[in-house]
A and B are shown apart, each in its own frame.
Chain A
Amino acid sequence: MTLEIIKWIGYGTVAYYVVLQVYMFALALLSGYVLRRTYHTRRFGRVNEMLSSQTSPPISILIPAYNEVAGIVDSVRSMSIVGYPRFEIVVTNDGSTDGTLEALIAAFRLEKVRIPYRPDIETARIRAFYRGRGAVDITVIDKENGGRADALNAAINAARYPYVLCTDADVVMDAAALVRGMQRVVEDRERTIGVGGNIRPLNGSRVELGHLISASVPRRMIPRMQVLEYMRTFLASRPGWSAMSALPLVSGAFGIWKRSALLEVGGYKRGHLGEDLDITMRLHRHHRDKGIPYRIVYESSAVLWTEVPDNVRVLRRQRIRWHRGLMTATRDFLPMTFNPRYGALGMVTWAGFFLFEFLAPLLEVTGWVMLPLAYALGALNTETVVLMLLLALGAGLMNSLVALWLDEPYGFYTGPEDTSRLIVIAMIESFGLRQMTVLWRIRAVLGGKRTRHWGQMERKGVANLGARA
């Protein structure tokens, strides 16, 4: 009897894995269809006319910065040269202790000013405001430390324009990213409350004066694995979710939001480890519960490059934090899961998050334990175990290759070296790297004091990532 149970648990985990891969594959096909359908518009469309158009809605770029002295100036420079007719930059110095504020003051000739600040969202104490005297329309808010969400809330309060781009201090924005993202706003200004962008790892690429000079796949395994992961997420999943009007997550690194919509839901939630997931889901819930027409969409051609962890220690911290954030969101939005009232969001995408993100590490580890156990006890024969393992490896590889295919038209990684590096990582990531991330997520589930904090990302600065990656 015990043997039978073990055997069926083994089968169950394999069946789960197959369903997961089928879901991913179907999503990738849908995403591929969406990307293909919009390709000709991206190729020939007159989006660039928006650059000189008075009809382009103005936007505030919000950058929270905590101990970002290594890259903040380059980042703001990259934002300041982005192609868009009307925008301002609002940086929140979230109680940095490393000289971030001083670096900003020196680089952008900031002057202490008073502005009519309206605390629509409560935040930690504001110490001062600064405005740039140079060509860059920049406002810096100096406040006491309160975390990323709190820093963003302060910037939302101070923003002067009806749309805000919430981003990070360790990013380089593609020159066309803002215009591409805002095109989705102009398409339907009444209903569009959020636009997510395509995030790509910057490690390994060359950046000069805030410009991305050349993109390449990093040599080191840890950032290289993340290049593939980001492709799977941003090219093989999100376009599909967006097409279903059920995008559950607009990434924190690039999220265009209607300011009034953010104020309606009280801004970002302080102390949440997945504040981007939380705000996206709260906006969905708010609008659907109240029956307000809205849309939150994804734009794959709005590209933003970000520094990703390049060593196991930092990556571990990041993944634990992400999973803790996901766990909190799963609890907060449990009534939306498999709830037909929320349409495709409740039944497909958020349900997918619950099944294939939240439960994945638990079920995967169960499989690791049960399959060898069933084999050792003679419940499964060698052929079955080998076939199951081959299926698991093959399905993962297939989905990674689909993502590589979808990346092809963007033309960022053109050299044979880049292609071979990506193919190699697609083949080997299931041998150790994937298991490592599953264990970190289990660690997040186990909890404890050390999993409840953001921790410190070790920044190299966007300009210094190419040489060492």
Chain B
Amino acid sequence: MNGIELLRIAVLVVYIVSGLLLSSLIVGKRIHQRRQLAHYRRRAKYLALLSRGLTTPDLRVDLGPRVAEDQAFLDALIDIRTSVIGPESDELATFVGRFGVMEGYARRLRGRLFVTRRLRAAVALAEVADDSFAPVLMDHLGDREPEIRIQAARGLARMHWTPAIDAIVDRFSVENPWVRSRFEDTLLSFGSKATWPLIAYIRVNHRFESPGSAAAIRTLANLGDRDAVTPLIDILGRASDIEIKLAAIETLGVLGVPLAFESLEKMFTAEDWRLRAKAATALAKVGDPRSLPALSSGLIDSNWWVRRNAAQGLSRYPEGIRRLHAAIRSAFPFARDAAAEALADAGEVIAARQRIEEGVPTDEDLELIEFIQSELVVPG
């Protein structure tokens, strides 16, 4: 075959492919639009049917054998699921259960092929299934598809299936960061029931498993259960991993118990600036006035973040505001800037300007505004 023949074939192939692409694009778009329209119509039909099913439990209808495969049905199911609460959501599960739809989804989830179908089934079970399907979801907490694992955990949390707590927490060590972050959020649905399994996990794992333990500690912060304070103080004292220490400090701050003050104050003198910076924020959140001397000393810390967080922390206390005003006169330029920012964030600058406009300024107001208006010197 010579060059010209090759060229002819190449031209032919290129134009045939282009022709196919062009025609399929035009036809495909048309088909897609029609399918979309049909989808909306079926979704509306299913919505009406499910609504009637909720109000008329004995309603006799035939959903058809392949309804579980219909995306429009799932969309309608999720729509209605998100708009009902309490007993109505159980009634919805019962009504849908009568048609064997959930068994269909469970079968699909157990299948090996077709990720989209399996994912759709997981979404359906997570959204609507009653707790008789909890074992199915438990089996899929370790599914090979990350999104299915996430859905399984969500479903179990919605059912408040407490045996799932340990299973979810145990997976903190093996999960990738994305799934772990979703599991953290999912555990919040279990409320304080998740506190002790999390503490147990941290106690066992904190010496050799940093990301999972740090995630578990962060979850405790979001749960807001103050039962976690004493164990966390203990872990903060014993842990050697910086990430775990940081998570523990943050969580103790969020839980805001004065009991944590001494541990946090100790962290404020740590060598690692990250611990000091985190401790500054946590001390402010704990709300114990004993924090004021530590936070004031933080204004002249060698690290920039510590100074900034200490200033922000001081602004949470009335006495701290006074100390921030005093810091405006500091010889240390970073302390002045950090104090000025914290005062501005606390609304002091606006208040000072207002008092000046009204003709009743204090010396501190004048000092603050003068400092803000003075020429900016950015240190090198």
Contact = CB atoms under 8 A, between A and B. Distances in A.
B7 interface: yes
A408 interface: yes
A455 B376 CA distance: 30
A343 B10 CA distance: 31
A315 interface: no
Interface in A6-53: 11, 18, 40-41, 43-46, 49-50, 53
Given A18-B10, A118-B304, A394-B14, A112 B177 contact: no
Interface stretch (B21-29, B41-49, B59-67, B166-174): B21-29
A116 B334 contact: yes
Interface stretch (A126-134, A166-174, A296-304): A126-134
B283 interface: no
B178 A126 contact: no
A384 interface: yes
Interface in A91-128: 111-119, 125-128
Interface stretch (B96-104, B180-188, B195-203, B316-324): B180-188
A189 interface: yes
A414 interface: yes
Contacts of A54: 218, 221-222
A55 interface: yes
B119 to A, nearest CB: 5
B349 interface: yes
Interface residues of B, number: 61
Interface string A364-403: 0000000000000000000110011011001101100110
A404 interface: yes
B181 A55 contact: yes
A388 to B, nearest CB: 7
Contacts of B8: 387
B140 interface: no
B354 to A, nearest CB: 11
Contacts of A398: 14, 17-18, 21
A332 interface: no
Interface string B201-222: 0000000000000010010011
Given A186-B181, A384-B4, A111 B341 contact: no
Nearest to B29: A419
A195 to B, nearest CB: 13
B4 to A, nearest CB: 6
Contacts of B26: 419, 423
A4 interface: no
B177 A187 contact: yes
B115 interface: yes
B340 A114 contact: yes
A114 B371 contact: yes
B173 to A, nearest CB: 16
Contact of B350 (A111, A187, A390): A111
B183 to A, nearest CB: 10
Given A384-B4, A402-B21, A53 B371 contact: no
Contacts of A404: 25
B229 to A, nearest CB: 18
B341 A384 contact: no
B308 interface: yes
Given A187-B178, A189-B177, A113 B14 contact: no
A116 B4 contact: no
Nearest to B211: A190
A397 B17 CA distance: 10
Contacts of B24: 405
Contact of A401 (B25, B29, B119): B25
A117 to B, nearest CB: 6
Contacts of B218: 54-55
Contacts of B14: 391, 394-395, 398
A50 B182 CA distance: 8
B350 A133 contact: yes
Contact of A187 (B17, B176, B308, B380): B176
B340 A391 contact: no
Contact of A113 (B221, B372, B379, B380): B372
Given A113-B344, A405-B25, A186 B177 contact: yes
**What bracket does the count of chain A residues touching chain B fall in?**
35 or more
Contacts of B113: none
Interface string A280-297: 000000000000000000
Looking at A18, A50, A117, A126, the one whose CB has the most chain B CB atoms below 10 A away is A117
B120 A44 contact: yes
A423 B344 contact: no
Nearest to B371: A114
A427 to B, nearest CB: 9
A408 B7 CA distance: 32
B56 interface: no
A349 interface: no
A388 B337 contact: no
Interface string B338-355: 101100110001100100
B344 to A, nearest CB: 4
B22 A114 contact: no
B22 A401 contact: yes
Interface in A44-73: 44-46, 49-50, 53-55
B83 interface: no
Nearest to A129: B376
Contact of A40 (B119, B308, B345, B353): B119
B373 interface: yes
A451 interface: no
A187 B176 CA distance: 7
Contacts of A414: 33
B347 to A, nearest CB: 9
A318 interface: no
Contacts of A205: none
A429 to B, nearest CB: 14
B15 interface: yes
A112 B372 contact: yes
Interface string B114-157: 01100110010000000000000000000000010011001000
A458 interface: no
Contact of A41 (B21, B28, B147): B147
A175 to B, nearest CB: 19
Residue among A11, A46, A401, A419 with most chain B CB within 10 A: A46
B245 interface: no
B337 A387 contact: no
Nearest to A50: B181
B372 A114 contact: yes
Given A114-B341, A391-B14, 11 more contacts: A41-B147, A49-B185, A113-B340, A114-B336, A116-B337, A119-B378, A119-B379, A387-B4, A390-B15, A408-B29, A423-B25
10 contacts: A40-B116, A46-B150, A114-B337, A114-B340, A186-B177, A188-B176, A188-B177, A397-B18, A405-B28, A419-B25
Interface of B: 3-4, 7-8, 10-11, 14-15, 17-18, 21-22, 24-26, 28-29, 32-33, 115-116, 119-120, 123, 147, 150-151, 154, 176-178, 181-182, 184-185, 215, 218, 221-222, 304, 307-308, 311, 334, 336-338, 340-341, 344-345, 349-350, 353, 371-373, 376, 378-380
